[in-house]
């Protein structure tokens, strides 16, 4: 017999139990699982592997229990969809407790048994600290005979999950779920839908605690402005409310760029500061006499003089990357608050100017998506990259020609394929709440009409819709069980708070990692009954498919080999809470494109430069900008290709920096050392910066 220790933290072979199970299904003749607990998240990440067993007619038997009423019936129902799998319940209410965790695969001449501590849950398979033993044994061994005899004994005593006691099971499970939701779930998530905050004190989460401490430290040093950067869904509005409470602000001005954010912000502040009066200052409301005034920038920029310049001791600007736009300029110039706070998830989307300079370069907290996932500030996501149908041929289509792309995507056959995959992967929660991101208004309207024709309640929301119509649709989506799917283009990239979203459809070619991340963020807010977000991405045969890999990695600067390894290993170097699975065909195409892509070529660096320049609203990036923006390219790549960044700008005929030849020599020498790693290079850099020049006769002490 061959033994192997299996652990989700086994760094030696970089494989968790999920990987072992995936491999176990390959070439198996039959499989037997006996696990106390099964949840839908655990089943969903195995759906692709289980589908292969159905296609290969590999029979499976799965035994679970009603012990502690933990197993989710939704998970069992999904398992029973497979024609090759039988599922039974062991009734622990009638007999002794049931706590087994075993996975057995039968092969031609042997068995593989994995026995240990892991249940069939996502955390049990991927992230929990678990100890399991894998044993490969020949048929007829005493070890495997004992396991099979025990399994068959329990199987005979178990029942199908259609007998009358399941009614009792469902009721007990619902009570447990409600108790967990009430007592453990609601702490400081940025969500205003649950309505039971009065029953418990709202405590700051990890991000908010760190920011509050650093904000207080800034004020000790007499700083009056700060910019907080945190991923969508981590609780930025709550952070603002907590700091206003700590500051003991008498009058607050909260500035937003649309009224949808404004309503959500008021609801949040009412929970944290219930004794303060609050009102709107918008086109339709002028509640200027309230303690806390929530204003749209459109109205405030025209009527700010109705307030005294020192009217407000604290001002918050939400979605602060807009603050450099002209509409904010008169407001910032007029008001003189004791403290100004900016909140944003994407400072790189600044509307021209330098957002960091507006806030005096004070950034008390910066938490991006990866850290937000690790700290459980947002829900994890399960991403499935699906090869699009053959009829969708984008190989010869210019992806910048939106109408041409939409014509290719608008086919009924593709709609059927999308619905098939939606139903196969499902969603976390009781009701489907899906957003589909489309390439154009025409595409969104086509998708909505097709879904309605096929019996799925769906609508499109685009720039053509009035605000009242958008509000009506979103209210219905949040509160009604009927409306299941919304198709849109770019309206939901920011500023819309819809925590109930539990699945996202990526229906357009990914052309920008930034946009991909923003759209992904729409579904990452915590919400009732939502354990994770399901993301289904339909990957076409276009030349930029490899951008999906860069978007999922989410790092600035790309090392081709590390990206290729990430693709091959299903991005298992990301947060353990994340699950990413791509079709093998998609993987092959992306890996092929990566092989042909030179991330250090002039062509690629020009593309990266143009994208970064677009982020800066057309301004030529200064070297300092490369350190300020999350999505900035790696600066030193330009000097590796050319002699310096200035030489690169000269090469693409975009140099706007006048320098003498001597200055260029110093700049080239300085950039040649980047990234600085050696002690003497730090010393040289220090001398250059402090003196402005470096002569041959200069001596540098290290």
CATH number for the domain harbouring residue 14: 3.30.870.10
Q: Which residue has the higher pLDDT, 174 or 233?
A: 233
User: Residue 694, Cβ neighbours under 10 Å: how many?
Assistant: 17
Residue 350 has pLDDT above 70, yes or no: no
Does the pLDDT value for residue 273 go beyond 90?
Answer: yes
Indicate the DSSP class of residue 426: -
120 and 220 share a domain? no
Residues 327 and 443 grouped into a single domain: no
**52/32 same-domain check:** yes
Residues facing residue 283 across a β-bridge: none
pLDDT value at residue 196: 34
Mean of pLDDT values over 56-76: 90
Q: Any idea which of 465-474, 560-569, 693-702 has the lowest mean pLDDT? A: 693-702
The pLDDT assigned to 10 comes to: 61
Q: Which residues contact 132 (CB under 8 A, 6 or more apart)?
A: 5, 6, 7, 17, 101, 114, 115, 116, 117, 118
Specify the range with the lowest mean pLDDT, choosing from 97-101, 377-381, 689-693.
689-693
Does the residue 190 lie in any domain? no
Q: Is residue 98 part of a domain?
A: yes
Q: What is the pLDDT of residue 481?
A: 82
576 and 648 within one domain: no
Question: Residue 532 has which token pair?
Answer: 């994770």
Q: Residue 615: CB partners within 8 Å, gap ≥ 6?
A: 348, 349, 350, 514, 629, 631
What backbone phi and psi angles, to 5 degrees, belong to 700?
Answer: -120, 125
Q: What is the mean pLDDT of residues 401-405?
A: 92
Regarding whether 493 and 634 lie in a shared domain, the answer is no
Indicate if 133 and 22 belong to the same structural domain. Answer: yes
The answer as to whether 186 is a domain residue is: no
String of DSSP letters for 374-425: HTTSS--EEEEEEEPPTT---TTS-TT-HHHHHHHH--HHHHHHHHHHHHHH
What is the pLDDT, as a whole number, of residue 184? 39
125 close to 103: Cβ distance less than 8 angstroms: no
Least confident of 366-370, 578-582, 654-658: 654-658
pLDDT(556) > 60: no
Number of structural domains found in the chain: 4
What is the per-residue pLDDT for 195? 33
Instruction: Summarize pLDDT for 430-447 with one digit per residue, the tens.
Output: 999 999 999 999 999 999
Query: How high is the pLDDT of residue 675?
Result: 74
225 within domain boundaries: yes
Residue 670 phi/psi, 5-degree rounding, is: -65, -45
Residues 450 and 586 in one domain: yes
pLDDT at 299: 95
- The pLDDT-based confidence of 702 (bands split at 50, 70, 90) is low
Residues 324 and 448 in one domain: no
605-647 confidence digits (pLDDT tens): 887 788 778 767 677 888 877 776 666 777 877 877 778 888 8
Query: What sections of 560-678 are H helices per DSSP?
Result: 560-568, 584-596, 602-615, 625-628, 636-641, 645-651, 661-672
- Stretch 242-254: mean pLDDT, rounded? 97
Residue 531 lies in a domain: yes
Mean pLDDT score of the chain, rounded to an integer?
Answer: 85
pLDDT in the model for residue 185: 37
Tell me what the mean pLDDT of segment 492-519 comes to: 82
Task: Report whether pLDDT(589) > 80.
Answer: yes
560 lies in the same domain as 634 = no
Same domain, 403 and 538: yes
Predicted confidence (pLDDT) per residue in 129-165, tens digit: 999 999 999 999 999 999 999 999 999 988 875 444 4
Task: Report, as an integer, the average pLDDT of 297-314.
Answer: 95
Handedness of CA 66, 70, 75, 77 (dihedral sign): positive
Q: What is the mean pLDDT of residues 510-519?
A: 78
**Of the residues 339, 372, 405, which one is the last residue of a structural domain?**
372
- Residue ending a domain, among 546, 562, 596, is 596
Helix or strand holding residue 472 (H, E): helix 467-479
Q: Where are the alpha helices (DSSP H) in 113-141?
A: 122
CATH number of 415's domain: 3.40.50.300
Domain residue limits at 240? 206-372
198 is a domain residue: no
Indicate the range of 559-563, 568-572, 683-687 predicted with least confidence: 683-687
Cβ pair 1, 137 in contact under 8 A: yes
Last residue of a domain, one of 351, 372, 393: 372
| Residue 41: per-residue pLDDT | 97
234/279 same-domain check? yes
Q: Which two tokens stand for residue 625?
A: 């900008």
**Residues 304 and 336 occupy one common structural domain:** yes
Asked if residue 189 belongs to a domain, the reply is no
* Cβ pair 484, 431 in contact under 8 A: yes
The closest of 314, 343, 323 to 236, measured between CA atoms, is 343
Q: Decide if pLDDT at 200 tops 50.
A: no
**Whole-number percent of the chain with pLDDT over 90:** 51
| 3-state SS class at 38 | strand
pLDDT band at 178 (very low <50, low <70, confident <90, very high): low
Is residue 182 in some structural domain?
A: no
Residue 198 banded pLDDT, cuts 50, 70, 90: very low
Residue 28 has pLDDT above 90, yes or no: yes
pLDDT tens-place string over residues 317-340: 998 988 988 899 999 999 999 999
Helix and strand totals (H; E) in the chain: 28, 21
């Amino acid at each position: 017999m061959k033994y192997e220790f299996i652990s989700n933290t086994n760094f030696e072979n970089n494989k968790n139990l999920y990987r072992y199970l995936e491999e176990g299904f390959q070439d198996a003749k039959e499989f037997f699982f006996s696990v106390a607990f099964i949840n839908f998240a655990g089943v969903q990440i195995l759906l692709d592997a289980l589908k292969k067993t159905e296609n290969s007619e590999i029979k499976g038997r799965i035994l679970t229990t009603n012990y502690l009423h933990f197993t989710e019936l939704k998970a069992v129902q999904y398992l029973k969809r497979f024609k090759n799998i039988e599922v039974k319940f062991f009734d622990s209410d009638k007999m002794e407790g049931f706590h087994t965790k075993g996975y057995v695969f039968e092969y031609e001449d042997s068995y593989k048994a994995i026995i240990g501590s892991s249940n069939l849950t996502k955390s049990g398979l991927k992230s929990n600290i678990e100890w399991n033993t894998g044993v490969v044994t020949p048929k007829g061994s005493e070890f495997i005979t004992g396991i099979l005899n025990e399994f068959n004994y329990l199987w005979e005593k178990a029942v199908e999950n259609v007998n009358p006691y399941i009614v009792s099971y469902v009721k007990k499970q619902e009570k447990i779920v409600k108790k967990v939701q009430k007592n453990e779930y609601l702490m400081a998530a940025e969500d205003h839908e649950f309505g039971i905050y009065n029953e418990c004190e709202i405590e700051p989460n990890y991000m908010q605690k760190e920011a509050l401490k650093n904000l207080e430290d800034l004020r000790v040093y007499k700083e009056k402005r700060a910019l907080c950067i945190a991923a969508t869904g981590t609780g930025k509005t709550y952070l603002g409310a907590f700091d206003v409470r700590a500051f003991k602000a008498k009058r607050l001005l909260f500035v937003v760029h649309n009224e949808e954010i404004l309503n959500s912000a008021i609801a949040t502040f009412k929970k944290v500061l219930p004794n303060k009066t609050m009102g709107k200052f918008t086109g339709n409301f002028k509640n200027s006499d309230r303690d806390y005034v929530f204003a749209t920038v459109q109205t405030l920029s025209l009527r700010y003089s109705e307030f005294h310049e020192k009217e407000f001791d604290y001002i918050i600007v939400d979605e602060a990357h807009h603050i450099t736009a002209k509409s904010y300029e008169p407001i910032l110039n007029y008001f003189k608050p004791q403290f100004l706070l900016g909140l944003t998830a994407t400072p790189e989307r600044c509307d021209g100017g330098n957002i960091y300079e507006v806030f005096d370069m004070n950034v008390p907290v910066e938490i991006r998506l990866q850290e937000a996932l690790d700290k459980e500030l947002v829900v994890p996501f399960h991403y499935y990259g699906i090869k699009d149908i053959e009829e969708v041929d984008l190989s010869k289509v210019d992806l910048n020609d939106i109408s041409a792309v939409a014509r290719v995507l608008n086919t009924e056959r593709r709609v059927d394929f999308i619905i098939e995959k939606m139903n196969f992967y499902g969603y976390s929660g009781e009701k489907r709440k899906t957003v589909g991101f489309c390439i154009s208004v025409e595409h969104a309207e086509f998708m909505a009409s097709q879904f309605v024709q096929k019996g799925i309640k769906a609508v499109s929301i685009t720039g053509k819709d009035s605000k009242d119509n958008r509000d009506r649709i979103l209210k219905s989506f949040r509160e009604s069980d009927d409306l299941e799917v919304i198709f849109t283009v770019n309206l939901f990239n920011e500023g819309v708070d819809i925590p109930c979203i539990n699945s996202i459809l990526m229906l357009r070619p990914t052309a920008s990692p930034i946009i991909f991340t923003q759209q992904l963020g729409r579904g990452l807010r915590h919400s009732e009954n939502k354990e994770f977000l399901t993301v289904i991405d339909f990957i076409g045969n276009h030349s930029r498919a490899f951008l999906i890999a860069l978007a999922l990695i989410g790092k600035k600067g790309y090392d081709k080999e590390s990206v290729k390894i990430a693709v091959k290993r299903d991005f298992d170097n990301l947060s353990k809470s994340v699950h990413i699975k791509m079709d093998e065909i998609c993987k092959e195409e992306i890996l092929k494109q990566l092989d042909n892509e030179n991330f250090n070529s002039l062509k690629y660096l020009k593309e990266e430069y143009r994208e970064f320049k677009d982020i800066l609203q057309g301004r030529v990036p200064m070297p300092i900008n490369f350190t300020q923006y999350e999505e900035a390219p790696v600066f030193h790549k330009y000097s590796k290709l050319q002699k310096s960044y200035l030489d690169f700008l000269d090469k693409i005929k975009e140099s706007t920096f006048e320098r003498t030849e001597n200055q260029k020599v110093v700049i080239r020498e300085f950039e040649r050392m980047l990234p600085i790693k050696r002690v003497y290079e730090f010393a040289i850099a220090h001398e250059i910066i402090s003196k402005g020049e470096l002569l041959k006769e200069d001596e540098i002490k290290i």
